[in-house]
Amino acid sequence: MRVLFLYPNVSRYPAIPIGVGSLIAALQGKGHEWTLFDATFYDDDELMRTFIDYVRISSCEMLAIHCTSCDWRLVQILLAGLQEGYPENTIIKVIGGPHPTSAPDEVIDSGLVDVVTIGEGEETINELVERVAGGRDISLVENCWIKTNGRINKNRLRPLIDDLDSLPIPAWEIFDDRHVRGVEEDPKGDSQRIVGIETSRGCPYSCTYCVNSHLRTIYKDVKGKFCREKSANRVIAESRSAKERVRADFIKFVDDNFMGPDKRLVELSKRFPVEVGLPLHLQVSADKVNRRTIRLMAEMGVVRLGIGVETGNEIYRKKILTKFITNEQIVEAFRLAREYGIATKAYYMIGLPFDRREYIEQTIEFNELAKPDITFVSTYFPFPGTILGRAVLEKNLVEHYEYLPDFYRESILKFDDLAAEDLQDLRRRFANVTLNTGPFERRDLERLTGDNYSKTKPRKSDRAYQR
C-alpha cells in the first residue's frame, strides 16, 4: 500500500508539522510505503505543476491530507487541479486535521475528498490503510465520514487515545531541514534549531474562540478523558530523540497549556536539564503562574514563556471570550517571568467581534503594563465549530465567509469604526510587535487559480459549518 501525505502549509511558515509527523510515524514499520509532498518551499508558479507530477510519479493509492482552516482554500485548489490535470487517477483522498474535524459537512460536500477523518488520526489512518491494502470495506471505520455509492456514512467517534506514551515518536527527520533551522524571534538574536513537541492533548479551558470548545462538545459522550499528558519519561525521551535525530538545540512544547499535573512539573524540573539539557519554550495560562511554578520552569530550562492575553479589556475577556483570568494575574505572570530571567511572548487578538478603536487602545496600553519581550498580534477569525464563530454568523457580523491564508492581516468581520488599514496601523503600535510570518512570502491563491487552472477556484462560502 502506497500512501502520499500532503502538507499544504499555506502560510509557508517553516516548522515541523507535528500532526503529519505523528501520522507518518504511525504507519512506519507496518509494511506500507509512504512519501511526503511538502508544499512549504515551492513558489506559487511551480506548486500546482509540481504537485500533480509528484502524485503521478508516486503511484500512490491513498492521498492523506492534514488541513487547518487556513489551509482549506489551498487544499481545494490543489485537489481541483489534480482532478483537472490527472483525471484518470483513482486515488482515495483522505483528509483530517482541525478543519475537517470542525467542518466535516463543508469538506465532504466539496466533492473533492472521499474520506473525512474527525479527531485524533493515528489509529484511524492505520485502520484505513490496513483495510484498503487488504481489499476490505472501509465504510464503517470509526472517526470517519465516508462516501460510499453516493451515500455518506457518518461513523461514530472512537475513544480518545488514553495512553499518549503509546504513540510513536513523530518522524521529524523526514522533513526538509529548513523546518528545523528556526525563524522564531529570539530576544538574544541567537540562531536555533527548533523542534516542537506535544506533551499533552486537550485543554482544561473552553474559551469561545478556540477549537477546544468544539472538541469538548463532540467528545462529551465519548469514552475517554479529554485532557491527557505524556509522562515525564516520554517527554524526556522525545526531546532527546529530537536532539539526536535532527540536531535540535531548542525545544518548544506546543501544548495549548503546558501546565499538567504538578508531579510531572516537579520531575521534569529535576530531570530535563540533566538528561536533555536544551533550552525550552512553552505556553501557559497566566493563572497557572506563581512563584513556585515559575521557579520550577526556570529550573527545567525554560527560557521563553508564551502567555495568551487576547485583550486588555478584562470584562470582554471574561464575558465574550469566557477566559476567566484577571489583568492582575496576567501582569504578575509577566513580572515573575522577568524576575526569573525568562523571556516572555504575549499573544493578543484584534478585530474581535464588536471591537472598537478604544478597546484596542486599551489593549495597547495594557501591553505596555505587562511588558512582554515579544508581542504577537493576530487578527481574529471566526473559525468553524467555535462558540464565538457561530455567534458571529448568527449576528451577521461578516460580509461573506472566506477562509484566509493566515490570521495576521485581514479581517472578514464588519465594524462600526474600524477599517482594514486601521487594524494594521493599530497593530504596529504594540510594543515589540511581530507578525511572526517567517522568511517566505505568503501564498497568492489568486495566482494559483489563474488561466491555466481556471476550474480550480473554490467557491467563497457564505457560511461556515454550523451544528
Instruction: Point out the least confidently predicted range of 122-126, 273-277, 301-305, 417-421.
Output: 417-421
Q: Does residue 262 carry a pLDDT above 60? A: yes
Q: Say what the pLDDT of residue 184 is.
A: 59
DSSP H or E run through 109: helix 104-109
CA gap 287, 342 in Å, rounded: 17
Kindly state the DSSP code that residue 179 receives in the 8-state scheme: G
3-state secondary structure of 79: helix
Q: Which of 73, 14, 72 is nearest to 447 (CA)?
A: 73
Mean pLDDT of the chain: 91
Q: What is the pLDDT of residues 77-94, one digit of tens each?
A: 999 999 999 999 999 999
Q: What is the pLDDT of residues 14-71, one digit of tens each?
A: 999 999 999 999 998 788 889 999 999 999 999 999 999 999 999 999 999 999 999 9
Q: Does residue 326 carry a pLDDT above 80? A: yes
Dihedral angle, C-alpha 91, 93, 94, 99, nearest 10 °: 160
Q: What is the pTM of this model?
A: 0.92
3-state secondary structure of 50: helix
Asked whether the beta carbons of 347 and 311 are under 8 A apart, the reply is no
Q: Does residue 169 carry a pLDDT above 50? A: yes
- Percent of the chain, pLDDT > 70? 94
Going by pLDDT thresholds of 50, 70 and 90, the confidence category of residue 358 is very high
CB within 8 Å of 293: residues ≥ 6 apart: 259, 265, 284
Q: How far apart are the first and last CA of the chain?
A: 36
In the chain the domains, ranked by start, together with CATH numbers, are: 2-161 (3.40.50.2300), 184-437 (3.20.20.70)
Average pLDDT score over residue span 395-416: 88
3-state secondary structure of 424: helix
Going by pLDDT thresholds of 50, 70 and 90, the confidence category of residue 182 is low
Q: What is the pLDDT of residues 263-309, one digit of tens each?
A: 999 999 999 999 999 999 999 999 999 999 999 999 999 999 999 99
Going by pLDDT thresholds of 50, 70 and 90, the confidence category of residue 150 is confident
